[in-house]
């Protein structure tokens, strides 16, 4: 009978431990990715300067005044959320033009009033979400210069910058999540999408 050396036994045990740890890490990583994807799928984009989600839903009364004053008609209402008709945006269909009228029309403070539509005021008060670029399907990252999203950004050169071949790069500090880049994207499914603020935390 062949004797197995202590070294081989230790090597086998070590290999088994490493394999077990790797399997556990892969399972945890997959769970994290799935949980993040569900958060992104279930979260919604609220109008500009909305309070954090829980506070927003506790204050919003579903009066519809924000939608009434929106010149772009981009605010929709979800009658299934607490039965109040909470406002939300579907940016691929209609993006926010950052006029800030909705924030001044809100009677309950669910939307914080933004004094003006100047870039400084908007960037100081608004964080609807964050634009995220999918480099796998973005034309500019795959040999075809595009730049449609960069041209559409109201904070071009700040929130969205273009590298060589018009490759878009998002600055998370200055992106307000208006969705004008997402609306302008010529790729389907879109190569740049806004992740809702409530899904980023």
Q: Is 94 within the bounds of a domain?
A: yes
Residue 117: per-residue pLDDT: 87
Greatest CA separation for the chain: 87
Residue 39: per-residue pLDDT: 41
Please name which of 63, 41, 59, 39 lies closest in space to residue 50, comparing C-alpha atoms.
Answer: 59
**Phi and psi angles of residue 173, each rounded to the nearest 5 degrees, phi first:** -75, -30
Q: Is 87 within the bounds of a domain?
A: yes
Rounded to an integer, what distance in angstroms lies between the CA atom of residue 184 and that of residue 193?
11
Residue 33: per-residue pLDDT: 40
DSSP 8-state symbol, 117: -
Q: Is 14 within the bounds of a domain?
A: no
Rounded to an integer, what distance in angstroms lies between the CA atom of residue 31 and that of residue 34?
5
Rounded to an integer, what distance in angstroms lies between the CA atom of residue 86 and that of residue 43?
13
Q: Is 30 within the bounds of a domain?
A: no
Q: Is 31 within the bounds of a domain?
A: no
Q: Is 102 within the bounds of a domain?
A: yes
Residue 38: per-residue pLDDT: 41
pLDDT 10s digit of each residue in the chain, 201 long?
455 566 676 666 677 666 666 666 655 555 444 344 444 444 799 999 999 999 999 999 999 999 999 999 999 998 776 667 899 999 999 999 999 999 999 999 999 999 998 999 999 999 999 999 999 999 999 999 999 999 999 999 999 999 999 999 999 999 999 999 999 999 999 999 999 988 876
DSSP 8-state symbol, 70: -
Rounded to an integer, what distance in angstroms lies between the CA atom of residue 140 and that of residue 147?
7
- Total-model pTM: 0.76
Residue 40: per-residue pLDDT: 41
Split into its structural domains, the chain has a count of 1
> Residue 12 is encoded by which pair of tokens?
């086998």
DSSP 8-state symbol, 139: G
Residue 137 burial (CB count, 10 A)? 15
Range of the domain at 191: 43-200
Q: Is 1 within the bounds of a domain?
A: no
Residue 200: per-residue pLDDT: 74
Q: Is 32 within the bounds of a domain?
A: no
Residue 34: per-residue pLDDT: 39
């Amino acid at each position: 009978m062949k004797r197995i050396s202590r070294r081989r036994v230790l090597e086998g045990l070590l290999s088994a431990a490493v394999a077990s740890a790797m399997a556990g890490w892969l399972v945890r990583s997959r769970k994290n990715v799935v949980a993040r994807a569900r958060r992104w799928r279930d979260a919604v984009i609220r109008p500009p300067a909305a309070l954090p989600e829980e506070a927003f839903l506790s204050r919003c009364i579903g009066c519809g005044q924000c939608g009434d004053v929106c010149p772009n008609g981009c605010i929709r209402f979800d009658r299934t959320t607490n039965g109040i008709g909470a406002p939300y945006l579907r940016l691929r269909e209609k993006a926010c033009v950052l006029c800030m009228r909705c924030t001044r029309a809100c009677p309950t403070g669910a939307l914080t009033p933004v004094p003006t539509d100047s870039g400084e005021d908007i960037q100081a008060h608004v964080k609807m979400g964050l634009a995220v670029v999918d480099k796998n399907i973005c034309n500019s990252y795959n040999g075809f210069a595009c730049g449609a999203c960069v041209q559409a950004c109201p904070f071009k050169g700040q929130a969205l910058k273009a590298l060589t071949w018009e490759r878009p790069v998002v600055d998370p500090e200055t992106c307000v999540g208006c969705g004008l880049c997402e609306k302008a994207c010529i790729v389907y499914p879109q190569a740049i999408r806004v992740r809702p603020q409530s899904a980023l935390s």
